[in-house]
Amino acid sequence: MDQRPPRQPPTSGKASPESNAPLPGGEEHYRLLVEQQNDLVVKVDNEGRFLYVNPGYCSTFGKREEDLIGQRFMALVHPDDQAQTDAAIASLYHPPHRCYLEQRALTQEGWRWFGWSDVAVLDERGEVTAIIGVGRDIHDRKVAELQLLQTQRMLDLALEAGGIGTYTANFSTGQVCPDQRYLAQIGYQPGEIVITDEWWRANVHPEDLAAFAEQTGQVIHGGVDDFTAEYRFRHRDGRWIWLQDHARVYERSPDGIAVAVSGLRIDIHRRKEAELRLAYHADHDPLTGLLNRRGMWHVIRGIQAQGQRGHRPNAIAILDLDFFKRVNDTYGHLVGDQLLQEVAMVLRASTRESDWVARWGGEEFLILMPDTNVAQARNFIERLRQQIEAAPFLIREHSLRITVSAGLASSHLEEHDSHEAFVSRADMALYAAKKAGRNRVCTETEADQD
C-alpha cells in the first residue's frame, strides 16, 4: 500500500502495545538492519508525509531521500488504487492497528505492484502518531494472478455463452460434483439433488445407456483417458434432452484403474434436433412421409446383409399406379398428390411392422419384406393389389379408382446377390406386369419366362 519508518528508527512511538520492549543492540544496530533490507521501509505521519525512507525505497523510485521527506506518499500511488489505500490507512486507527494492502506505485520502471504490511505507531495514550510500512515488489506475481483471473473470466463467459457445464466424477465413490450450469441443463438448482453414478444411469435414455456404459468401461479399465459421448437425458420436467459429454481421466490407481475424471457437458438438444430433422428429410419423401429412394437403399443394404448372414429370405415388391398420368391430366396435380398420399397411407396401414415402405419415385412405391419368401410375398402383394383396386379414393369431391401393377423379387441366398441386382429383378418383374396388361402381380420368375 503506502510507505513508512523514520530516519531515526521508530522508537519515538510504539508499533503496537506489545512492541514496547527495548530494541536489542541499540538504535544504530536497528538502523543498519533496516537500511540493508531489500524490502521497502517507510514511516509517514498522520497526514501521509514521509518521515523516513530506507535506501531500498529511494532506489526503487529513483528519488533521493531529501526529495521524499515531507512529501505525501499518495502522489506515487496509482489513481485507481488510492481509494482502497485511504481505506487501509483509516483502518490502522482501530485495533489491531495493522493491515495488508496491495497497490500500484509509480517507480522509475513505471507502474509496479507492491504488497505493504502496515502498522500504526501508538503513543502512551494509544493515539496513532505515525505509520510504519514494509513493502515488497509483487509485480510479477500480481500480473500473473490478474492474467489468470482474466482467463478465468473469459472461460466463464465462454462456458456461459455455450451452455457448457463442468463436473468431476469419482468412480470409487460414485459421487459427481457438478457446477451450476450442469445442474441448470437438467432443470435443477444447486443443493436440490445429489448426483451419483446410480442416479445418473437411471436418468439416461435406455437406448443410449449401453453405448455410454461401454465407453465408460473402456475409460475405467481400458486405459483410454479421453472420451466423448452424446446421449439423451431425462430433464426434471420429464422430457428427454440431448447432451454431449467430453471427459478426461486425471487420476488412476496404481494398477491403472481410473479413479476420477473431469469433464464438460454441453446442451446439444437444438443442434441434435436439427441434425435429426435434416437426416429425416434426407431419407424421407416430403409428400407422403415414406422413405425416399436414398433412405430405402440404406435399409435394403442392411436387411440384405442380415438375411445373407442368417440365410433368411427377403422379398421386394415395386408397385406402380396404373395410368396415373390421366389423374393429373384430368383433375390436376393437387388431386394427384393427394391420391399418392392416400395410397401411401394404405400401404403403411397394410404392411407389417417389420416391413419397409418407400416412395421409389413418381407414382412408384417399393415394399421391402424381411424374412419373407416369394410365395408369402406374392400372396400379400396380391391382397394389397385387390384392396387398392376395390377402394374408392374420395379426393376433393371426386371418387377416384386406381389399380396397381407390381413386380416381385426374392433374395438369392445361394449366391452373392448385390442389392442393385435384387432391386433390378423386381423392376424387371414390374415391367412384365405392365406388359401383360397392368393391374397384376408378376414375379421375377414370370418375368424370365416372358
Domains present along the chain, CATH in parentheses: 17-138 (3.30.450.20), 162-273 (3.30.450.20), 284-449 (3.30.70.270)
The more confidently predicted of residues 24 and 432 is: 432
In contact, 62 and 107? CB cutoff 8 Å: yes
* Structural element, H or E, at residue 114: strand 110-122
Is residue 20 predicted with pLDDT exceeding 50? no
What is the average pLDDT across 254-260? 89
Is residue 195 predicted with pLDDT exceeding 70? yes
Of the given ranges (146-160, 201-215, 267-281, 373-387), which has the lowest mean pLDDT? Answer: 146-160
3-state SS, residue 142: helix
Cis peptide before 370 (omega within 30 of 0): no
Of the given ranges (203-207, 252-256, 423-427), which has the lowest mean pLDDT? Answer: 252-256
Pairing of strands 128-137, 110-122: antiparallel
pLDDT, tens digit, 9 for 90 and up, residues 434-443 = 999 999 999 9
3-state SS, residue 388: helix
Which pTM does this prediction carry? 0.56
pLDDT value at residue 24? 53
Is residue 148 predicted with pLDDT exceeding 90? no
What is the average pLDDT across 353-382? 96
pLDDT value at residue 422? 93
CA angle (116, 120, 124) in 5-degree steps: 165
CA angle (176, 178, 181) in 5-degree steps: 155
- Mean pLDDT in the chain? 88
